[in-house]
C-alpha cells in the first residue's frame, strides 16, 4: 500500500529525510518510533503530499504521490488532482483539528458532502454508524469544546473514516491527551486494525506498537536505523541507538 524508495526531504539547507526506504503491505499496521526531530511526522506528511519530497519515489497503492511519470521524467500533479488522491488517505493529527463552530455531526459529514458529493442523508447515516463505532453514539449535536481531548480525537478518527480511505495515517494521536484518556483512543485504533485497515502510525505508545503493529520502524536523524517485528525490536534491539532510545521510554 505504501512504498518509499530513497525518499529525501529538506527544509532550506536542512535535510530531514535522508533516503528513507520502507514498505507497508495492504492491511498491515506500521508503527514508527523515534526521538523528536527524527523525521517521523515529516515522512507521514509526505505520504499524502502535505509536504513535497525532494528526492526518491513515494507511492500509495501503486501510484506516485504528488507526481506522474511520463517517460523518464516526473511531473508534479495539479492541486486538484493531488486533493482527489489525498481524499483517499485519512489523517489523524496530534491536535484533533476539528472545526470548532461545527457540531460533531457537521465535522464528520463536511468532507463527504463537499468533496465526494455524498448525499447528506447518506452521510448522516454513515456518521452515526461511525460515532457508534468510536464509542460516541448520541453525541451528534455536541460541539468540540464540550468534549474531552480523548473524545475529540475519536471524533477526528470518525471524520477521517467517513471518507472511506484506503489508508489511515496517525501522527502521534495520543501525545496531546491526558494519560487517563489515551486508552479509549487506542481501543478505537485496535478495532480499526482488526478490521483490516492499513495504518501508518507515528507513536510513543510502545505497548500499542508491540501488541498491534505488524512492523516497527525506529527513525533517528532522518534515517531508518532499525526495522522489524515489534516484539523483536523492542525486546532485542540490534543497534546501540535503538537500545539507548528504548531504555528511556520503556
What pLDDT shows up at residue 50? Answer: 93
State residue 161 phi and psi, 5-degree precision. Answer: -70, -25
What pLDDT shows up at residue 183? Answer: 94
Residues in the chain: 250
- Tens digits of residue pLDDT in 29-76: 999 999 999 999 999 999 999 999 999 999 999 999 998 888 888 888
**Which residue is listed with cell 515529516?**
42
What pLDDT shows up at residue 140? Answer: 97
What pLDDT shows up at residue 118? Answer: 96
Instruction: Give the global pTM.
Output: 0.94
DSSP string of 43-82? HHHHHTTSS--SEEEEEETTEESSEEEETTEEEEPPHHHH
Rounded to whole angstroms, the Cα distance separating 171 from 163 reads: 18
Q: Give the HSE-up count for residue 186: Cα atoms under 13 Å, Cβ half-sphere.
A: 23
Rounded to whole angstroms, the Cα distance separating 210 from 87 reads: 30
What pLDDT shows up at residue 84? Answer: 87
What pLDDT shows up at residue 72? Answer: 84
What pLDDT shows up at residue 69? Answer: 87
Mean pLDDT by 10 residues, the chain (250 residues): 97 96 96 96 95 94 90 88 91 92 98 95 97 96 96 97 97 92 95 96 95 97 97 96 94
Amino acid at each position: 500500500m505504501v512504498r518509499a524508495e530513497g525518499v529525501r526531504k529538506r527544509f532550506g539547507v536542512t535535510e530531514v529525510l535522508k533516503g528513507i526506504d520502507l514498505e507497508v503491505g495492504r492491511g498491515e499496521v506500521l508503527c514508527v518510533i523515534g526521538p523528536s526531530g527524527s523525521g517521523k511526522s515529516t515522512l507521514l506528511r509526505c505520504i499524502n503530499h502535505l509536504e513535497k519530497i525532494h528526492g526518491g519515489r513515494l507511492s500509495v497503492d501503486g501510484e506516485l504521490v504528488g507526481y506522474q511519470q511520463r517517460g523518464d521524467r516526473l511531473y508534479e500533479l495539479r492541486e486538484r488532482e493531488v486533493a482527489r488522491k489525498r481524499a483517499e488517505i485519512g489523517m489523524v493529527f496530534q491536535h484533533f483539528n476539528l472545526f470548532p463552530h461545527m457540531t460533531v455531526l457537521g465535522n464528520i459529514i463536511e468532507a463527504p458532502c463537499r468533496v465526494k458529493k455524498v448525499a447528506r442523508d447518506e452521510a448522516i447515516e454513515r456518521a452515526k454508524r461511525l460515532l457508534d463505532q468510536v464509542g460516541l453514539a448520541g453525541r451528534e449535536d455536541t460541539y468540540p469544546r464540550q468534549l474531552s481531548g480523548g473524545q475529540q480525537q475519536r471524533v477526528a478518527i470518525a471524520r477521517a473514516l467517513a471518507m472511506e480511505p484506503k489508508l489511515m495515517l496517525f501522527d502521534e494521536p495520543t501525545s496531546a491527551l491526558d494519560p487517563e484518556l489515551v486508552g479509549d483512543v487506542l481501543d478505537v485504533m485496535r478495532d480499526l486494525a482488526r478490521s483490516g485497515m492499513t495504518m501508518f502510525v507515528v507513536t510513543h505508545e510502545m505497548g500499542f506498537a508491540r501488541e498491534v503493529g505488524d512492523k516497527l520502524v525506529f527513525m533517528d536523524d532522518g534515517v531508518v536505523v532499525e526495522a522489524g517485528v515489534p516484539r523483536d525490536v523492542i525486546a532485542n534491539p540490534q543497534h546501540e541507538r535503538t537500545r539507548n532510545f528504548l531504555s528511556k521510554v520503556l
